[in-house]
A and B are shown apart, each in its own frame.
Chain A
Amino acid sequence: MGMTNDYVRYARPALWGFFICIAITAVLIVARFFIPTFISYHWDGERYTQRTRAEQVIREAFQTRIEKLTEIVERASRDTSLSTSINPNDIPVTLKAFQSLNFYTLNDDQTIDLVDSQGNVLAWNGTSISSLYKRELDQNSPEPFVYVTQNGLRIYLTVGKRLAYNRLFLLVSEPLEVNSPISNRFVQKVSFCSELSRTLGTQVTFRLPQTYVAHQGEYSIPVVNRANKTIAEFFIAETTLEGETSSKTDLCMMLIALCLACGCLFFVSTITLWIAKKNHRWMTTTVLILSLWFVRFVWRELNIPATLIGGWLFNPNLYASPFILGLSSSLGELIITIITAAASAWFFFTRNILVNETKGIAARIGSSFGRIGSIIFVCIISMLILWLFRGFSEAVRSFVFDSTIRYSNPSEILPDGAAALMYFNSIMLGVSLLCISTVLIYVGRKLLFIQYSSAENRSRIIFVSSIIISIPIFALLDRTQIIPLLRSVLFITICIVFAEFIIYWKNAGFNLISRRWKLAVWIVVSSFIFGASLLHQELQQRERKEVEAVANEFLRSSDSWLTYIVQDGLRSSAESFTVNFNSYSFSTAKEDNLAFVLWAKSLIGKEGYNSALILYNQQGNEVDRFVVGMNKQEQQNILIKVFAGEEEAVHVFDRTGPKILGKQYGAWTTVRDSSGQLLGSIAILLSERQKTIFHEEETEPLRQYGDRLENDAIREIAVHEYINDSLVFSTGRKLYPERILSATMDGELQRTTNSALWENIIINGYETETMFMRDVNSPKRIAAISLEDLDFRWDMFEYLKEFFICLVVLAVIGIFICIRKSIQKDIPALGFRGKLLIGFTCITLVPLVVLSYYNKQLVEERVQKQGEIELYSELVRLQDRISAYVSDEEDFVKGIDDDFCEALAAEYGVDFSIYRGASIQASSRSELYRTSLLDGRLNGKVFASTILDGKTHVLAKEKIGSVAYVVGYTPLSVNESVVGVLAIPTLNRQKEIEAELAQQNAFVFGVYAIIFGIALVGGGLLALRFARPLQKLTQAVENVAEGNLDINVSVKSHDEIGTLAKSFNDMISKLRSSREELAKHERENAWREMAKQVAHEIRNPLTPIKLSIQHLRQAFKDKAPEREEILQRVTQTVIDQIETLSRIATEFSHFAKMPERKYERVDIDNLLKEAINLFREVQGVSFIDQLASPTIKVIADSDQLRGVFINIIRNAIQAIEKAGTITISTIKEGRVCLITISDTGLGIPEEIRSKIFEPNFSTKSEGMGIGLAIARRVIEDHGGKITCQSERGKGTTFEIRLPV
């Protein structure tokens, strides 16, 4: 009935949902066919609408930008410190102006300039937009004015306003676009147009007026200022009819897919509920599992939910695998698949083990195969489990190898999102595997148990032997050998132990259904244990593969991609020059930064490698050069060799230094006009060392290989090269090896068939894992890469992070249980022990959270401080050196130039720049300033602090592209007057911060985690210790409530709980005494009653005897003629009454002394059936039996028990007046067999209900009224209990509980 109600409640809405989805899908499918026609018909109008919308969106977006800057300008214009007259000679006022300007810009990209009417900049904050603003200033209007301008690589939007009081101008600017497709490494990409493109769904480009002509398929939207002058133009790629149709069709298809996905879900829900209604357990389980997978596959085909959610979760760049027919094509798909697998496995597990459907299967299989067949079946099960485990191992391998996820990040306490999800996947997959394997093991165990006639130990031995036999068979058959045998054996052992625990609990009568969530916790923790070790093993394998790939790259003669981009750079630069420039361009090449322009447009600029482009005129004289990240020495060395070679041939050069990895490439070509006349030539140089720009940047050897090798922040990774067994190159600092390669190593390399040989060797006292690889093209050359071994604390830290995910999974299970119970209005109360445990956990966790929060800040501050100290010492050193060189201001102006700076930078190994006033005078990296990669104007705050305020050291953050630097400044003085500012850049030391954090995390938190674990365990034990006495007391109270006073709570503690226990024991003792008194009193009363009854019963027959004898005596005395008759009558009467007396005596004798009992294993169902059969023929009474299956057996005296049942059934029949039903049921509740006998008779009045079990109480005319009393005695003697519930007019129910 309940299932039917559930079915109606849920299936009907599901069915409706299904039909609605189908209907919507049908409509959408029809609509899809009409979309092209519809769009085509309305295309002109649609185009107009789109253009109008684009214009509106663009103008609004542009206007929003303007308003944002206008708001800043208006706020700043109200600042009184900016409204006064500012004279550059008036230092306090000018300083105040600089300090005020600092407050108004919202981010680092914005610039604010205070400018006089001639356009000269008086104070500023931010990048210089223009050195002279005069052209742009609107002198006439007090309202803000707007214009767009280009400076270097960027296009800026500027809003300005004339200040009322002092006729100065405030100009606020921010970048809109970067002009060239230059790498993000050099110039941080800013794109106003990309936001617009996303909004409008079409390509939008931005140009200054009259610099671009719209191509076919484009239209322009001009933007004008208040004076109606066009300040910018937007070019929008027009959407084509095909594009619009395609876009709308895609949307329609997505909606169809969504409807089908929902319809599929509703459909399978309906089917599953319908099957469940039939209450056939096996079919329900099978259908449920099949439904889950059906939905999964359909959703995958429809690309749901990837289409809806998208993002990094469904991006194959993060993870992709061809496993399971596309169900793991991305991380998101993998998660959904694994959750489906885990849910299916859990259903399979709970149905087969917890609900005990398996035994029937085992019995059926056993009867089909016999003993030998069963053993073979167990072997097959074992091999199946090993095969599944192999599949699991391959899946975990795929999690590592088919992903670009960084699993190990020791500078972070928690794993990042993608790594956390992968840990979750490995745990849940392990859960699925463990569930299925445990069921299979359980089936095998039950099978052999049945075959060997329930001899448990014997069946266990045969079972284990069968498993052991199967393992080597599997090892022989398994050709992939993907997993070590020991690991498989360990896994099977875990499954066997788990299955044995389940069998033990079942035999002990525990209700596994109510304990299934505890089982879930065990399963999750077990899967973490064997899954985590497998994952870490695969991570180690991946790292080795990456090291081998790095060695291959090191040994290769050249990189084809770098060769290609040099050639392409040459080709594109030459073409670009030919198309856009002419021979006269060479004469102004330096002023026009021609070399930079060509470089920025080429593939080299886009790729972001350290490189150089040099232009030469017809005579072969250098006219312009752009260089980034290569010093003069390097350039010279390469150019000499390049020009010695053929034109357009790419030359590859090996390392230029003993510690420098990476090759260099160079090539040159001539530039000719259309008639073939020589215009000039171009040379391109490129360095593989991608990441360094400044001298001080350490060439971390493997940074050029990106983030492929993990943990390089916390351990040294050194590359070595041997030629003829002699060390010729090494990047090692700690790991600097012996100069000669050992003969054994060389021999090993000769013998090995693999390309790489891994060995654990000790270098300078450090344990390392070193890989050796021979160059196949040059066998005398050997590359080696050494990885410093990390100790166990690092591994432990990573395991802890993964265990955290395991705890999160358990927490989710806990939350799910709580939600489920709250829906069922069965909110679980947190026990005393639970509260204690939570208290302990919180107390230990809080310091951890606080520590982790402050630790990162402390480490960053400490490292930054250290960096500042080193930077200051560099500043002082160089300052002294320059001061020694410069004797007066003229020396400073004429002597400090770029060449001087480069020479000094090479000598000191540190790049620097020198400012004169606010402008750059010279730099060791002058090309960075010429090309606007670095701002040639001194930072406003620095200018104010050093030149105006006289501070000796100032720090400021700068950026080149995406890399942040800290720049130290110090004033340069000549003859006690400040003539300039010295600036030294240094890296932000992010790597040092990460390394320090990693050290802290691994060592401190690893220890803290151990302490936390100890605190948790200790807390649990303490909680247990506190809670146990209370549990004992609670149990005792429950026993007392059931009437058992024969208990004593033993609590040894001397605290309040001990006092409570003692008081409780005293109370029980008193209760026992009074109960005994009461019982004695009742017994006496009972005996009194019985004696009264006996006397009464005996008196009854004695009276007629006496009267009869008296009558007879009188008859014979009177010699009555009928005295013979009277004699007959009287004798008969006497005999009858003696019979009655005898019967009374017999019944009382039965009550007083029960016969000897014969205890045996009794089938309750059989006894009940026998009792029922005695009364089957009674008219008007129908029997309903709901006997348990399998039948329940108890240890009892079958005769007595049968007598009890007969007695009760007889009473029930007697209680039924005309027609009625007697229902008899049995059920096993834990270790108790509950027998219920209910009738639909008259019921027992409440006032006499308590007396029915008393001897000699009866409401009937016949009988002694001791039947139920005997029944109670029999049941109690069997250790059971009998109770009665009744309702007048409705019936009576007797419940008998017997121990099983």
Chain B
Amino acid sequence: MKRMFVILLLFYSSEAQVRQISDVSQKKEIVGTPSTNLDQQHSKVLAVFKNIEYGIRMCTVEEFEGELCAMVSIAIGSGERRYFSMNQAVSVLSGYFSGRRPISFEFSRIHEKGAAPYATGRLVYIQKGNQESVQVYVSLTRQDSRWVINQFNIY
């Protein structure tokens, strides 16, 4: 009886295996089809990301501090993710960017659709004479008909 039970478990686990491997097809997102309203939303989101991209490229928070949420989740390096108020988030990010001379930054991937658009890119900078790079991830959320930054991760 016990062995039968084990066999059944093994059989059940086989369900987890891939039945069919499809050819690589174009990636589809989970969200619905675009419409004119959605186009407007997308353009607004892209505009916000553009601001943020510029600010990160200049290693300055002033460019996008007005676009921070009331409570922003920030994770820098190997530190834990924490929630900060807008004021504190400005200070934390300013502290991070100070002392770093930017070389380049661009959002390599922007997912502007859906309720939580995000963008990510690689920031290359010089600090104390050494060139380093980090990956930056920024996501937005809707607040009072505006798109604001609710998460900012640097890793």
Q: How far is the CA of A557 from the CA of B113 in the complex (A)?
A: 13
Q: Which of B19, B30, B91, B129 contacts A620 (CB 8 A)?
A: B19
Whether the Cβ atoms of A620 and B82 lie closer than 8 Å is no
Cβ of B60 under 8 Å from chain A: no
Whether the Cβ atoms of A885 and B2 lie closer than 8 Å is yes
The stretch that binds B, out of A400-408, A530-538, A1122-1130, is A400-408
Cβ of B13 under 8 Å from chain A: yes
Chain B residues, CB < 8 A from A330: 91
Given contacts A241-B129, A246-B129, A622-B17, contact A321 B25 (CB under 8 A): no
Whether the Cβ atoms of A649 and B30 lie closer than 8 Å is yes
Q: How far is the CA of A546 from the CA of B70 in the complex (A)?
A: 11
Within 8 A of B (CB), among A718-746: none
Q: How far is the CA of A556 from the CA of B139 in the complex (A)?
A: 14
Q: Which of A606, A646, A678, A899 contacts B21 (CB 8 A)?
A: A678
Quick one: CB contact mask for B83-124 with A, threshold 8 Å, 1 for yes?
111011011101100000000000000010011111010000
Quick one: CB contact mask for B115-138 with A, threshold 8 Å, 1 for yes?
111101000001011100000010
Chain B residues, CB < 8 A from A777: 115
Cβ of A72 under 8 Å from chain B: no
**Least CB separation from B65: chain A residue:** A322
Whether the Cβ atoms of B129 and A243 lie closer than 8 Å is yes
Quick one: CB contact mask for A317-358 with B, threshold 8 Å, 1 for yes?
101111000000110000000000000000000000000000
Q: How far is the CA of A203 from the CA of B131 in the complex (A)?
A: 12
Selected A-B contacts with CB under 8 Å, 28 pairs: A240-B129, A247-B129, A316-B95, A320-B87, A322-B90, A398-B87, A402-B85, A546-B71, A556-B115, A556-B116, A558-B116, A559-B116, A560-B117, A560-B118, A561-B118, A564-B137, A603-B155, A616-B18, A635-B16, A643-B19, A646-B25, A647-B24, A647-B25, A647-B27, A649-B30, A650-B30, A681-B18, A706-B82
**Residue of A247, A560, A564, A632 contacting most chain B CB atoms (<10 Å):** A560
Whether the Cβ atoms of B88 and A320 lie closer than 8 Å is yes
Least distance between B76 CB and chain A CB atoms (Å): 9
Supply 17 further A-B pairs (C-beta < 8 A) apart from A319-B88, A402-B88, A903-B9.
A202-B130, A245-B129, A316-B95, A317-B88, A321-B91, A322-B90, A322-B91, A402-B85, A402-B87, A549-B83, A561-B137, A620-B19, A636-B16, A640-B15, A681-B18, A895-B2, A897-B6
Chain B residues, CB < 8 A from A560: 111, 114, 116-118, 139, 151
Q: Which of B88, B111, B116 contacts A321 (CB 8 A)?
A: B88
Least distance between B147 CB and chain A CB atoms (Å): 13
Quick one: CB contact mask for B28-70 with A, threshold 8 Å, 1 for yes?
1110000000000000000000000000000000000000001
Cβ of A545 under 8 Å from chain B: yes
**Least CB separation from B28: chain A residue:** A646
The 3 nearest A-B residue pairs measured at CB: A243-B129, A320-B91, A242-B129
Chain B residues, CB < 8 A from A683: 18
Whether the Cβ atoms of A403 and B91 lie closer than 8 Å is no
Least distance between A1299 CB and chain B CB atoms (Å): 61
Chain B residues, CB < 8 A from A678: 21
Within 8 A of B (CB), among A355-406: 398, 401-404
Whether the Cβ atoms of A404 and B82 lie closer than 8 Å is yes
Chain A residues, CB < 8 A from B129: 239-247
Whether the Cβ atoms of B87 and A322 lie closer than 8 Å is yes
Q: How far is the CA of A237 from the CA of B130 in the complex (A)?
A: 9
Q: Which applies to chain B's interface (DSSP): helix, strand, loop or mixed?
A: mixed
Q: How far is the CA of A1146 from the CA of B66 in the complex (A)?
A: 99
Chain A residues, CB < 8 A from B82: 317, 404, 706
Chain A residues, CB < 8 A from B5: 903
Q: How far is the CA of A651 from the CA of B2 in the complex (A)?
A: 35
Given contacts A622-B17, A903-B9, contact A401 B85 (CB under 8 A): yes
Cβ of A1235 under 8 Å from chain B: no
Q: How far is the CA of A402 from the CA of B85 in the complex (A)?
A: 5
Least distance between B130 CB and chain A CB atoms (Å): 5
Whether the Cβ atoms of B71 and A561 lie closer than 8 Å is no
Chain A residues, CB < 8 A from B92: 316-317, 320
Least distance between A85 CB and chain B CB atoms (Å): 44
Q: Report, as a range, how many residues of chain A touch the other chain.
A: 35 or more
Q: How far is the CA of A240 from the CA of B19 in the complex (A)?
A: 55
Q: Which of A202, A404, A635, A649 contacts B27 (CB 8 A)?
A: A649
Whether the Cβ atoms of A620 and B17 lie closer than 8 Å is yes
Cβ of A670 under 8 Å from chain B: yes
Chain A residues, CB < 8 A from B71: 545-546, 549
Q: How far is the CA of A867 from the CA of B74 in the complex (A)?
A: 37
Q: What residues make up the interface of B, taking CB atoms closer than 8 Å to A? A: 2, 5-6, 9-10, 12-13, 15-22, 24-25, 27-30, 70-71, 73, 78, 80-85, 87-88, 90-92, 94-95, 111, 114-118, 120, 126, 128-130, 137, 139, 151, 153, 155
Least distance between A247 CB and chain B CB atoms (Å): 6
Q: How far is the CA of A322 from the CA of B114 in the complex (A)?
A: 33
Q: How far is the CA of A244 from the CA of B130 in the complex (A)?
A: 10
Q: How far is the CA of A557 from the CA of B128 in the complex (A)?
A: 43
Whether the Cβ atoms of B12 and A636 lie closer than 8 Å is yes
Whether the Cβ atoms of A903 and B16 lie closer than 8 Å is no
Q: Which of A559, A603, A649 contacts B29 (CB 8 A)?
A: A649
Q: How far is the CA of A6 from the CA of B27 in the complex (A)?
A: 82
Chain B residues, CB < 8 A from A241: 129
Q: Which of B22, B85, B94 contacts A647 (CB 8 A)?
A: B22
Within 8 A of B (CB), among A294-323: 316-317, 319-322
Least distance between A743 CB and chain B CB atoms (Å): 29
Q: How far is the CA of A1279 from the CA of B145 in the complex (A)?
A: 83
Quick one: CB contact mask for A229-240 with B, threshold 8 Å, 1 for yes?
000000001011
Cβ of A795 under 8 Å from chain B: no
Q: How far is the CA of A316 from the CA of B20 in the complex (A)?
A: 52
Chain B residues, CB < 8 A from A603: 155
Chain B residues, CB < 8 A from A903: 5-6, 9
Chain A residues, CB < 8 A from B10: 899
Chain A residues, CB < 8 A from B151: 560-561
Chain B residues, CB < 8 A from A616: 17-18
Chain A residues, CB < 8 A from B25: 646-647
Cβ of A900 under 8 Å from chain B: yes
Whether the Cβ atoms of B116 and A243 lie closer than 8 Å is no
Least distance between B25 CB and chain A CB atoms (Å): 7
Whether the Cβ atoms of B91 and A621 lie closer than 8 Å is no
Q: Which of A401, A561, A632, A885 contacts B13 (CB 8 A)?
A: A632
Chain B residues, CB < 8 A from A321: 87-88, 91
Chain A residues, CB < 8 A from B114: 560
Q: How far is the CA of A652 from the CA of B10 in the complex (A)?
A: 26
Chain B residues, CB < 8 A from A640: 15-16
Q: How far is the CA of A891 from the CA of B84 in the complex (A)?
A: 57
Q: How far is the CA of A636 from the CA of B15 in the complex (A)?
A: 7
**Residue of A557, A558, A559, A561 contacting most chain B CB atoms (<10 Å):** A561
**Least CB separation from A705: chain B residue:** B83
Q: How far is the CA of A646 from the CA of B90 in the complex (A)?
A: 39
Least distance between B45 CB and chain A CB atoms (Å): 12
Cβ of A639 under 8 Å from chain B: yes
Cβ of A648 under 8 Å from chain B: yes
Q: How far is the CA of A322 from the CA of B88 in the complex (A)?
A: 8
Within 8 A of B (CB), among A592-638: 603, 606, 614, 616, 620-622, 632, 635-636
Chain B residues, CB < 8 A from A1111: none
Chain A residues, CB < 8 A from B81: 706
Chain A residues, CB < 8 A from B115: 556-557, 777
Least distance between B65 CB and chain A CB atoms (Å): 10
Least distance between A47 CB and chain B CB atoms (Å): 13
**Least CB separation from B70: chain A residue:** A545
Cβ of A708 under 8 Å from chain B: yes
**Least CB separation from A895: chain B residue:** B2
Q: How far is the CA of A202 from the CA of B117 in the complex (A)?
A: 37
Least distance between A95 CB and chain B CB atoms (Å): 36
Q: Which of A247, A561, A636 contacts B139 (CB 8 A)?
A: A561
Chain A residues, CB < 8 A from B78: 181, 606
Q: How far is the CA of A668 from the CA of B18 in the complex (A)?
A: 10
**Residue of A321, A398, A647 contacting most chain B CB atoms (<10 Å):** A647
